[in-house]
Structure 1
Amino acid sequence: MLIAFNKPFNVLCQFTDRSQPPRATLAGFGLPPGVYAAGRLDYDSEGLLLLTDDGGLAHRLTDPRHKQPKTYWVQVEGDADESKLQQLREGVLLNDGLTLPAQVERLDPAPALWPRDPPVRFRKTVPDAWLAITISEGRNRQVRRMTAAVGLPTLRLVRVAMGPHRLGELQPGQWQRLR
């Protein structure tokens, strides 16, 4: 079984949380029993999370050797000029090494997304931009670290695709079985 889930902002990609106070988890969304997340999506990120009850499938979806592309819509702070986008396209040096080149394009107009609670901070004097970034690695907080490294801190990050699977019209907290 394979499930596409639109993970809301500030929800953990696990079914339990022992922290105090406890944070929201996947347990609150009526997902089928026996599934678990195939990969991770950070607590402060949103969008497509795949869940499965098939360990082999989870491995194929998440193992870096399979190079499954993951696409994110990323709202960044600052002027996303062509030189900064080119740096992302060529690979960015992070503290854990050089990233593989990313596919990057500017999204203009901004994508039509659900409102986030709490909303992203807005500053009249600082421009922002939306980018579509596709990577085939899965380092910890990689997209956020890449954009920060080129001077474009991430304000909002939404995963919209993972391999051939797309978020589609799912709203936050909604899920559907995939074929």
Structure 2
Amino acid sequence: MITTHTHHHYYIINKPPNMVSQFVSPDDVGLLGDLAFEFPEGIHAIGRLDGHSEGLLILTTNKRVTNLLFQGEVPHKRTYWVNVGHHVSEETLHKLRTGIGIRIKGDVEYVTSPCEVEIIPRPEILVPHASESWEGVPNTWLKITLTEGKYHQIRKMVRTAGHRCKRLIRVSIEDLELGDLAAGGVKEIEESEFFRLLKIDNWQ
């Protein structure tokens, strides 16, 4: 349900898997409106996650945030926890960190910008998901921080490196963090705090 307000609102949600970053879709999919929360009129998602991905998603009534955050001169860091099949070698980590070729729109070869990649223990805060378990096949958790966001970039990066992305969770954008927000949870952020954590200048 959507309610009406006159000033801007800023929220983060922990988007669960199998939900698109939209309130309306012609397809039979999970929608943001299925969450147990009454969002204000004019709400929309910023920096969408694909249907299979999870984690931090920004929702706001302020239409200028997209330009400020993702189309400005200074790129903003986004951090993800990524579960992939099999063990990841040091050679593969180096490839992911220094730039790896992926196919982007128009079937163009694109070499990704350098980014931060490290192997991490399985984050204890995560609820187990069936996709993590393949009988007889080990898996590795990675923490990847990048400043660009081509379509399905991380999935394409790890696939090019010889691994399948089994689970992808965005955990932060700059200093705006998912924290312990449960899957499907919604948290409203005060405007000045929202801009401070994202390290963008308040448009006012």
Please report the TM-score for the alignment, with normalisation by the length of structure 1.
Answer: 0.92
CA gap of 1:36–1:94, structure 2 versus 1, over 3 A, is same
Question: Aligned partners of 2:96 and 2:73: how far apart in 1?
Answer: 21
- Unaligned segments of structure 2, at least 5 residues: 1-8, 105-109, 191-204
The alignment status of 1:32 with 2:39, answered yes or no, reads: yes
Contact 1:60-1:66 within 8 A present in 2 as well: no
CA gap of 1:142–1:48, structure 2 versus 1, over 3 A, is same
User: C-alpha offsets along residues 114-157 of structure 1, whole Å, 9 cap, x if unaligned?
Assistant: 233xx115234322100000111111000000011111211100
User: C-alpha offsets along residues 24-81 of structure 1, whole Å, 9 cap, x if unaligned?
Assistant: 1001112422211011101000000011111222322222643111100000112211
User: Residue 111 of structure 1 aligns to which amino acid in structure 2?
Assistant: P
Match of 1:46 among 45, 54, 58: 54
SS of aligned partner of 1:95: strand
CA gap of 1:162–1:27, structure 2 versus 1, over 3 A, is same
Contact 2:132-2:139 within 8 A present in 1 as well: no
Contact 1:78-1:151 within 8 A present in 2 as well: no
Contact 1:4-1:178 within 8 A present in 2 as well: yes
User: C-alpha offsets along residues 8-39 of structure 1, whole Å, 9 cap, x if unaligned?
Assistant: 000010001112xx211001112422211011
The alignment status of 1:142 with 2:149, answered yes or no, reads: no
**Aligned positions of 1:158-173 closer than 5 A:** 158-173=169-184
Q: Which residue of 2 aligns with 1:99?
A: 112
CA gap of 1:135–1:80, structure 2 versus 1, over 3 A, is same
- Unaligned segments of structure 1, at least 5 residues: none
Q: Which residue of 2 aligns with 1:177?
A: 188
Give the aligned CA root-mean-square deviation in angstroms: 1.4
Question: Aligned partners of 1:78 and 1:64: how far apart in 2?
Answer: 37
Question: Aligned partners of 2:38 and 2:145: how far apart in 1?
Answer: 27
The alignment status of 1:74 with 2:85, answered yes or no, reads: no
Q: Which residue of 1 aligns with 2:143?
A: 132
- Aligned residues between the structures: 174
Please report the TM-score for the alignment, with normalisation by the length of structure 2.
Answer: 0.81
Match of 1:151 among 148, 153, 162: 162
Higher relative contact order (CA 8 A, sep 6+): 1
Percent of matched pairs sharing the same residue:
34
